[in-house]
Structures are given as C-alpha cells and as structure tokens.
Chain A
Amino acid sequence: MKNYIINPMTAAILALSLLLAGAAVGQEHGGDIVYSKPLKSVTFSHKVHVEDKGLICDMCHARTFEMKALSAQENGDFKMQALYDGKYCGACHNGTMAFASNSRCATCHTGVKGYKTQPGEQAAASAH
C-alpha cells in the first residue's frame, strides 16, 4: 500500500498557480501530507499552514519535522502523548500558538474516509 500522498497533479497545479501569482504569494510546499500510522489517518495541509497562516519552512523543518514526507510516523513515539509533551505538531498546537492538540480532533484526523479520498488510494481502489 502506498504511503506517500503528495498528489503530483495538485503539486503541479499549485506550483503553476504560484508562478503565475508571483513569488510574493508564498513558497513551494509539499501539499497535503496524509499520515496513516499509527492509525488512519491524519492530514497535514501545507496550504493551510504556509499559504493561509503564512508560516515559513524552517519554522517546522527540519527540527520538528524532517523534510522527507511521512518520516515522523516511522518513529515509535508519534502518538498523541508526544504532541501533549510538545513534540511534533504539539510544538505549536499547545493551546497558545495554535489550537490545543487535545481539541478539535477531527480537524486533523480525517479518518479512513479521508484516507480513501486520496488520489493514490482512489487509483488503488479502482484497480481492484
């Protein structure tokens, strides 16, 4: 099963629109990152964080998250408790900088339903 969920099409359209809009709008980013471990699934939206909220790359990369997508979920401690302890998403999602990790669960947790709507998964499902 494929784990990387950066849709090349989305990325291409995004890159193109960014070029058209000019460099002032923002920076290239990784699109949607969909974590599937330890459970399905959590969607991190680069668009929300970079374009809407205006964060810059090195606020998270590479100290909190490596540049390589989904590398965080290979760590055994990639669980809610780590977030409550200020690791990973919890570095900002602590209730002061951004909404707390123990609130608004389904905002990030897009679930199995969210996972199935990923383009890679759709292709896999239709191939069955």
Chain B
Amino acid sequence: MFKKIDFDKLKNEGLENVPMKERRDFLKMGLALTGIFAGGTIFSAVSSFDRVFASTEEFKEKYPYKPHYAMVIYQNRCIDCERCIEACAETNKVPEGGYRTRILEHDAPDAIGQQREFIPVLCNQCNIPQCTRVCPTKATYKNPTNGIVMMNITKCIGCLTCQQACPYNARYFNEEKKAVDKCNFCFDTRLSKGESLTGCAAACPAGCRNFGDLSDPSSMVYRTVHQIEKTVWVMRPEAGTKPNVFYTRG
C-alpha cells in the first residue's frame, strides 16, 4: 500500500527551476503550473482554459461590450497593396491627404531572409481611450454597446486635443466635415447596414486584416487572442489604453 500523502502539508519548492519549455508544454495542455513538491516529483497545476493571453486580465471574465469588435492583423501577410486604404477612402469618403488607416513600413536590412515588413495601422478602438477622455465637448465617445470610439461631428470644435492624446496617430482633421475624422470600424457605412466586415477587412486579398467579435468564442479573433502557441501583441501597450487591434504573424 502507498503511504497517504498529505498534500496540504507539502512544501512548495517554487517554480524557479522548472524549465520554461516544460511550463509551456503544460500550458498547451491547458494547465498552468502553480508549484512543485517532494523534490520535483509532484506538480500542482490549475486549468488555464479560458484564460486570456493577449487581451488584458481585467477583461478575461467578461468583455465589456457585445459585440466587442476587434481586429487581428497578421503582420507578415501585409504586402502594402493598399486596397484597404482605397476601400476605406471609398466607403468612408476619406479625402485626399486624410486617412483612417495607413500602412507603415519597417525595413531591417540586416535581417536574415525577409528584410521588409508592412504594418497596417488604424484606430485601436481602445478600451481605455485617451481621446475621449480629453475631448472637451464629448464629441468623441465610446459607444456603450459595441465599444467603437465614435465621432459626433456636430459637437467637434476642431481643437485637435484628441489628436494629441491618441498614442496611435489615428485621427486627422477632415476639412470637408470641419471636424476630426477617424476609423469607426465602418460602423455607419457597413456594420449598421448588416455587413459583417469592415471595408478594409473585406478588401484585403492576403487575409491580413481579420475583423470579428472578441466576445464570441467561435470567432477567429477570439480564438487568436486566447491561444498561446503564437505570440499576439498590441501596439504601444505602455500607453495603457487596452487596444482592441491585435497583431500576430503566421
């Protein structure tokens, strides 16, 4: 007969010496290690199912919006064909010189293999937006249903404080509207008319821009943000704005 082990009395020897690979292997099984006991012969673990990895911890229990619109961008798939920019300009009547989305270029001449990368950027529809916080007239606001950061152009006085506050440089002054304009995930032009994708995501020929509902476990964006095998990141996390535009490669 085995001697009965009193698990409560075992001393946790700490995870410091558990190799990272082993911890990751457990994570892939859906278990997060919490301790090792009895000279490393016993592991304790808790389920990591439903844990959110790229999104922020405070939103893991429940996403604050329904639908909680988000975009996952496969950075390595962008080829700067700029069909997204064209589609955006056409859909949202973005004038020449203005932009709701742009493609950044990153050159790495010393890199092995591919030495160039294109990075699509747009409004991150932050969970904690800085722009809405600083707007003196509440012309820009977070939609309470779907979380999209929207503009009420009749209230905008063109002070451009929001532009200063935005860490993503996602806002421009639209001379025709005489107001600041920005990406709203095509809410007025497409989503509210029954379309499921933004103009840019629909126009992307490379599967780079993926749009969906982060609160829906069957959506591609949910499945990407909640896995650990591929790194998922956000732009400028230090700004603390909790973006809803995620980046990955693959």
Residues of A at the B interface (CB closer than 8 Å) are 39-40, 99, 104-107, 109-114
Interface residue count for B (Cβ, 8 Å)? 18
B83, closest chain A residue (CB) = A39
Q: A111-B103, A111-B118, A113-B103 are in contact. Are A106 and B113 (CB under 8 A)?
A: no
B93 close to chain A: CB less than 8 A: no
B205: contacting residue among A39, A107, A110, A113, CB under 8 A: A39
Closest 7 CB pairs of A and B: A111-B80, A109-B79, A104-B114, A39-B81, A112-B82, A106-B116, A107-B114
Most chain B beta-carbon neighbours within 10 Å: one of A105, A109, A113, A114 = A105
**Residues on the A chain within 8 Å of B205, using CB:** 39
Rounded to whole Å, the gap between the CB of A95 and the closest CB of chain B is: 13
For residue B79, give the distance in angstroms from its CB to the closest CB of chain A.
3
Task: Tell me which residues across on chain B come within 8 A of A114, comparing CB atoms.
Answer: 80
B146 at the interface (CB under 8 A from A): no
Bound complex: CA A100 to CA B118 (Å): 19
Determine chain B's interface SS by DSSP, over half rule: loop
B76 within 8 A of A: yes
For A79, give the chain B residue with the smallest CB separation: B205
Asked if A105 and B76 sit within 8 Å, CB to CB, the answer is: yes
B24 within 8 A of A: no
Q: Which residues of A contact B105 (CB under 8 A)?
A: 111, 113
Let me know if A112 and B80 touch, CB within 8 A.
yes
